[in-house]
Structure 1
Amino acid sequence: MHITQQDYSNLTFSFLVKSDERSMLGILLRFSTPSQETKSLVMAPNEYMHRFGDMFLPCLRRTTSDWTVHETNLLMDGHTLTEISALCYGPDDLAEETNTQGYSALLGHISIKSQQKTKPFPPASSWVIEAHNIEIVPGDSGSRTLSCKLEWRLKHPEEDSVFTRYNVYAEKLISYRTRKVMEEPRSEKVFLGTAHIDAYYVSDMVVGPDVKKVRFVIQTWYEDGSWQELDTSPSVLVEAERLSSKLCCCGLI
């Protein structure tokens, strides 16, 4: 990867990590100059500054869904980014017996974008999402499998809105009746896959006997690598109890 800083204003680097408390993951950035000088920087949380010395590049952390987003800003005029690597390490107080349990961390999306003002994402109400050809097939012990085709579109398409991909998530809702109201506690949003067109096929997704509905969330991405937060992304709710081979659920939740 070669990105020349001269072509941009300040850059924002971000990456997503999912890990346990004994498994840390940072990003190592290597730069070069026309005179062949090199420089390396490590993106890591502030509490690990002492480990990396002059290479340390502090980053802010925030949690979205079950991922932790690490983000920092950087200005290095005349430098070219030549390499991005993952750096795995553990906490300072890691006991030897704990270390034998192994290392477990997932690296998600890495984003590099200019700090120029980013076009806001269309609100969820701007989208129409439809679930076609819904098939619910009974399985063992009251479970079912759910299949359908998801399609989405903007109500009023904008010429300057260019989405490079869509991440699709599923959230299974369990309904139970209390004395006062019917409540729908939410489970975590589970990543299903990525679409590069305005459609996605869900095939034989297992639904437990206590799940009454499934909410499908469509997360949009711009070409600069920015993405819409899941909590503000458009979604559609699909009933998971009816047994039919030709159902259609249209709408926006």
Structure 2
Amino acid sequence: MVELIVSDLLSATILKKAMLPFVVGFVVALCALMWAGLFVFSWGSGMLTGGESSVDGLIQHVQQWLDGVPLIGVALALVAKAILGMLFSFLGVFMLGEGMILVAMLITAFLTPGIVKHIHNKHYADVPLQQHGGLVESIVKVLLKTCALAAVMVFSLPILWIPLINIVWFKVIFYAYFRSLLAQDVGENTLDEVTFKQVNRWSNMPLFWLSAVAYCLSFLPFINLFVPIIGVVALTHLFLQHGQRHRWQGDMFENLRDGRSGPPAAR
């Protein structure tokens, strides 16, 4: 399967489709970084006029108010600065990593049907291509999963204060979200609902390893913009091969049943 995945990823058809999420994700990330730079370093009107920006004024006003409270005010000011530093650091890492993947996944979702049909016609033309779920149902599922991700991240904010563990924990959370969306996207274009539920189990180790390897590639700069395409190609092969085995098993069962129920062969 690995050879098929690599050969398809290097094919001209897939490479052309991969350029769209890469370009869009890169532009969005660049705009986000520029906005963050303007906000954090108070670029813009304040620097052009030589005065301080509204952000600087607000921060100084809050700090003066906190410093005016004896002892507790100083402590609150230090805690507020630490929290803001942690949040800005986390948001920066998120935009450079997971944020870019989310943008690429959104673009790739519109390309998935074409990628699935290309791989199906090239390697699995004998396997019936099945689909399930409608557009509204898919959107509702994505929204519910996104709300669940946001809730888990909010309740996990205290973990931000624990070095190393915070990175690992939030990476694990986002991997679960990435795997769920990726499996849903490919499964709805390759398998019927019953078969998809059989395949889409956390105990399915091939699904776990393929999605985990694809997600780990997101740790590499710029490569993370290709991760959704890589995941779609890998899971398309996995799901269509499962459908192929399911069909062979069904045909074998039908042949055995017909053999038992049919008349005995003439001697």
TM-score normalised by the shorter chain: which range applies? under 0.3
Report the TM-score when normalising by structure 2: 0.22
- Kindly indicate whether structure 1 or structure 2 has the higher relative contact order, using CA contacts under 8 Å at least 6 residues apart: 2
Which structure: greater helix fraction?
Answer: 2
Report the TM-score when normalising by structure 1: 0.23
Larger radius of gyration: 2
Which structure: greater strand fraction?
Answer: 1
